[in-house]
Structure 1
Amino acid sequence: MKVLLLTDNDQLLRRFRELVGEGDLDLIKSYHFEYAYSWNNQEFREKYKNDDRIFPLKVATNTHELIRKYKVIFSLHCKQFFPEELVKNVRCINVHPGLNPYNRGWFPQVFSIINGLPCGATIHEIDEKLDHGPVICQEEVVIEKWDTSFSAYNKILDAEIRLLRNSLVDILDNKYVAVSKPEGNVNLKRDFDDLCEIDLDNTDTFLNHINKLRALTHGEYSNAFFFDEEGRKIFINIEMTRE
């Protein structure tokens, strides 16, 4: 049976391939895995241009081919929305870096640091809504006071791999019970963009200011910023160190 993994996360691509190759998951050997990334992912396009094991894909324009070709499609941090026609004709599974139904959508760990809602990893069936559908399994990840978006995200990646290791065979064999969750809340890309500009005149508790800055600190990414007197962006990252 052909299975497609669609991802835009290089670390998860590598770790998923390693997982499929592990000896303790021999039952997976009867499945044929193919790999794809989003057609507009320039970093992947350059890195994998000579790798015939993975290919660029635009889901919206290849829906009929995907329906014809695959029995299961995994979205593993893929930045594309799956059309309703696809999810109604193929079993589509999302590995999502959030604890549904909390903070569905963009960068769940960012919003969990700010609003205090639970964070974690969820594997769920995909329906026509964003990060929505019956939950197959999930694991909560505790965000500590010293976590930034980056360190919280890395904890979530580890949780996602644990969930896949424990449930992948059952998902492929369709031997699981998925449970519907409440609607919860959704954060879109524009909600994240609105967070990034820091209002220097804003008054709040020091805790809330720290939480916002650590939520927007993600490795080498430039997220939080303010404008100086000449209209130039000044970017802010903070470092959290535990004793």
Structure 2
Amino acid sequence: MLPAAHVLVLTDNLYLAQEFQKLTATKLELEQVRFTYCCSPTSAETMRPFGIEPVQVRSAWPQLVQRYSLVISAHCKQLFPAEMVKQVRCVNIHPGLNPYNRGWFPQVFSILNKLPLGATIHEIDAELDHGSIIVQQPVHVQDYDTSLTAYTRVQAAELELVDEHLVAIVAGTYTTTAPGQEGNLNLKKDFNKLLELDLDETLTMRQALDRLRALTHGTYRNAYFYGENGKKIYVNINLQPESNG
């Protein structure tokens, strides 16, 4: 059993928050560890009904470093100030295989640029998805994956890693490795550039399918073109692999 500690989990993903809570409840070693869950202010409407209160990290970090011995980011949309990560140990659960496609929506860019996809747990430093790697697991991108199906498997891999390594992460008894290279970084603006479809753009069929499936994420309205009336027409794609039967 670990000594008493207070861990802050910052997340804007309700599914991950609930699964994380289930996993912590199964670990006898964590009985003395208190977990507090918070979200970004922009997610308050979704998360507050489930007891997850918002916190603005940029302004609240001096109090956070005094209150918590560990801060875990699990798909938190906020960037941690450099001074914060210097003063308290911060760990990120990231839906990508660092250092490939660091930043926003790794599965989208892995479908497009064919760089590896996976799940990574790493220490947070002053740069985005850049710190020393604690553990990671590759996730293969199938040729029939959309953004959503790939992301769903990445989340499953993240939870497997959390289940296996959370006790060591809380205790600080893990070892780390430095990323072998700087890799590449995609920002939200890079994703936004993909959304409008140019109907006169020349692509191979493979490139067109990759673009559409990379931007298909359930009911989200991502890819679009402008119709004759000047209004956006949204596009999703449905891919069904042949069954073994």
TM exceeds 0.5?
yes
Q: CA deviation at 1:46?
A: 5.2
Moved over 3 A (4+): none
Q: CA deviation at 1:230?
A: 2.0
Instruction: Give, in whole Å, the separation in 1 of the partners of 2:229 and 2:154.
Output: 39
Question: Structure 1: which amino acid aligns with 2:100?
Answer: Y
Q: 1:42 to 1:176 in 2, by over 3 A?
A: closer
Q: Secondary structure at the match of 1:117?
A: coil
User: Unaligned 5+ residue runs, structure 1?
Assistant: none
1:38 aligns with 2:40: yes
Tell me if structure 2 keeps the 8 A contact 1:37–1:44: no
Relative to the length of structure 1, the TM-score reads: 0.95
Calculate percent identity across the aligned residue pairs: 48
Name 2:168's counterpart in structure 1: 170
Deviations 1:40-85 (A, max 9, x none): 214325534xx3xx32100011111001000100000000000011
User: Unaligned 5+ residue runs, structure 2?
Assistant: none
- 1:1-243 correspondence to structure 2 within 5 Å: 1-22=5-26, 25-44=27-46, 47-48=49-50, 51=51, 54-181=52-179, 182-243=181-242
Question: Structure 2: which amino acid aligns with 1:235?
Answer: Y
Tell me if structure 1 keeps the 8 A contact 2:44–2:54: no
Q: CA deviation at 1:39?
A: 1.5
Give the root-mean-square deviation of aligned CA atoms: 0.9
Q: Secondary structure at the match of 2:21?
A: helix
Question: Structure 2: which amino acid aligns with 1:155?
Answer: R
Q: Secondary structure at the match of 1:124?
A: strand
Q: Secondary structure at the match of 1:93?
A: strand
Question: Structure 1: which amino acid aligns with 2:186?
Answer: N
Tell me if structure 1 keeps the 8 A contact 2:12–2:47: no
User: In terms of mean alpha carbon deviation, does 129-138 or 39-48 score higher?
Assistant: 39-48
